[in-house]
Structure 1
Amino acid sequence: METLPAMGLIDYRALLIDCDEVLVDRDSGVWTALQPLLDNGLNTPGKDQVLAEFNDVIRTLYPRFDELGFSGLLCFAHRQLAERLGIKASWEEGMSFARSVPNWTLFEDAPGAMLYLRKFYRLLVYADRDLQDRGLLCERLGLEADSLLSLTTHPLDDTRWLAKMDLDTRDTLLVSRPPASAPGLGGLCLIRRSREQH
């Protein structure tokens, strides 16, 4: 087996950046959008536990992403989270929660970082969003539409896509949040936004 030399940051040609919790403050957006639901509950758990439950629900639903789409996934996640917390919730409340995604804020440093990194790298962003939300996200991040990739498509495993983009997995650095693993032969840079992750 061939051992490849370690790559330095300047050796990468492309950055593949996870959108949520690296560029977009998803947890704060979810927490804010869950407030109407949580206000209807008695003895609801704290923020960390609610977000952990939400993440667990999302993980179990993700295999159905192609069937549900992002809004559908979030609507079902809202419903299942409500059931776990013993709170009654309507489908309308679930859809309202799902439509909160465009309101999720960018981290303060994200636009400037994207502008700076664009000078040196091809920027690709993993972000599952509904079609109607993709344009706004691209505009906010200063991206072309073909630079926004779905987590469900695994583009770095697609040799035709890599050839079309003139990329190799070895030339790609994944910028993500913990836990994450490097894509194929590419590199990994972990971004820890919360103090608990340090």
Structure 2
Amino acid sequence: MELTDYRALLINCDEVLFDRDAGIWTALQPLLDSYPNTLSREQALTEYDQVVRGLYPRFSELGFSGLLCFAHRQLAERLGLKASWEEGMAFARSVYDWPLYEDAPGAMLYLRKFYRLLIYGDRDSADREAFCERLGIPSEDFLSLASKPLEDRDWLLTNGLEPKDFLLVCGSPADLSLAGGVCLIQRGCGEHRSAGPADFDIDSMADLVTQHQRSLRR
């Protein structure tokens, strides 16, 4: 299929639009400043991701902010450091400062002319309005994967869509086989790309726009 064959994009907010790693790395600096050894960005993010994976089964209990707060606390313990709950909450609220990739706003402006743009990710319900305002989308267009939108026949019928209409736009291989296609965006990976079930393998949101324009000319 061509990019022009889809009607809706389901975009992973924290892998494709927001530079989640840069946001986490910046927010970890107050904690890492007290670490006696040198910890590279890659090492710190690897340690953090391991902690998050261990906590994720408790996501429904903790919520997104709670997950980040506990992750900060447990990371400190892994590193032999002390961190207060206040510091953990400050880390959790840093999500508001996670930077957008430079190409994301312009790409979304272009793509919304051709697609229904739906964003998915983890956010607390109380934070979603501000989050959606930053992205320039209505709140109903932010989805949680836990809601399994492509399996919700009532939601699909209400929105006049079918699973085959969707192109999943993500930064890593994801288990969303019901989508019509998968567009894998791996920024800065060069030759070190992850293999995955991608129909389109693209470098950035800006590249997605370029590829779409080429599809229009075919």
Query: TM-score scaled by structure 2?
Result: 0.82
Letter in 2 for 1:169: P
1:18-60 CA distances to partner (integer Å, 9 max, x unpaired)? 0002100110000000001111111142110111121222222
Q: Distance in 2 between matches of 1:70 and 1:155?
A: 19
Question: How many pairs are equivalent?
Answer: 192
Q: Secondary structure at the match of 1:189?
A: strand
Q: 1:124 maps to which residue?
A: 118
Q: Structure 1 residues 59, 186: closer, same or farther in 2, change over 3 A?
A: farther
Instruction: Find 1:35's aligned residue among 23, 29, 36.
Output: 29
Residue pairs, 1:1-198, within 5 angstroms: 7-195=1-189, 197-198=192-193
The two structures, once aligned, show a CA RMSD in angstroms of: 1.6
Q: Distance in 2 between matches of 1:8 and 1:110?
A: 21
Structure 1 residue ranges without an equivalent (≥5): 1-6
Q: Secondary structure at the match of 1:95?
A: helix
Q: Secondary structure at the match of 2:11?
A: strand
Letter in 2 for 1:41: Y
Q: Distance in 2 between matches of 1:61 and 1:165?
A: 34
Deviation, structure 1 residue 11: 0.9
Query: TM-score scaled by structure 1?
Result: 0.90
Structure 2 residue ranges without an equivalent (≥5): 194-218
Letter in 2 for 1:118: R
The answer as to whether partners of 2:27 and 2:91 remain within 8 angstroms in 1 is yes
Deviation, structure 1 residue 127: 2.1
Letter in 1 for 2:170: S
Q: Distance in 2 between matches of 1:44 and 1:61?
A: 26
Q: Structure 1 residues 129, 58: closer, same or farther in 2, change over 3 A?
A: same
Q: Distance in 1 between matches of 2:40 and 2:176?
A: 32
Q: Distance in 1 between matches of 2:18 and 2:55?
A: 21
Deviation, structure 1 residue 185: 4.5
The answer as to whether partners of 1:102 and 1:133 remain within 8 angstroms in 2 is no
Q: Distance in 2 between matches of 1:18 and 1:178?
A: 10
The answer as to whether partners of 2:164 and 2:178 remain within 8 angstroms in 1 is yes
Most deviating of 90-99 and 39-48: 39-48
Letter in 2 for 1:57: V
Structure 1 segments (4+ residues) deviating >4 Å: none
1:47-101 CA distances to partner (integer Å, 9 max, x unpaired)? 1011112122222222222211110010011111111122111111110100101
